[in-house]
Amino acid sequence: MKKLLFIVLCLSLSLTSCREDKKKQEKPKVETEGEVNIETPQGSIKTDKKGNVDITIKDK
């Protein structure tokens, strides 16, 4: 019984540490010098200085 409790304790500690590692990962910060607008017959792509991308696909 003590071995089982020890195994459960070890597993819970390892799972907790894995969750902490995932929380520490940061998203990369992207900034552009200007806005980009590309238009094609199939659709368009637009970006802003904050790194947001808007993709529009035209239906046939």
Residue 36 has pLDDT above 70, yes or no: yes
Structural domain range at position 53: 2-57
Q: How many domains does the chain have?
A: 1
Which tops the pLDDT comparison, 24 or 5? 5
What pLDDT score does 35 carry? Answer: 83
Which tops the pLDDT comparison, 55 or 31? 55
Q: What is the mean pLDDT of residues 6-30?
A: 68
What is the token pair recorded at 20?
A: 């902490």
| Bridge partner list, 57 | 43
Amino acid at 38: I
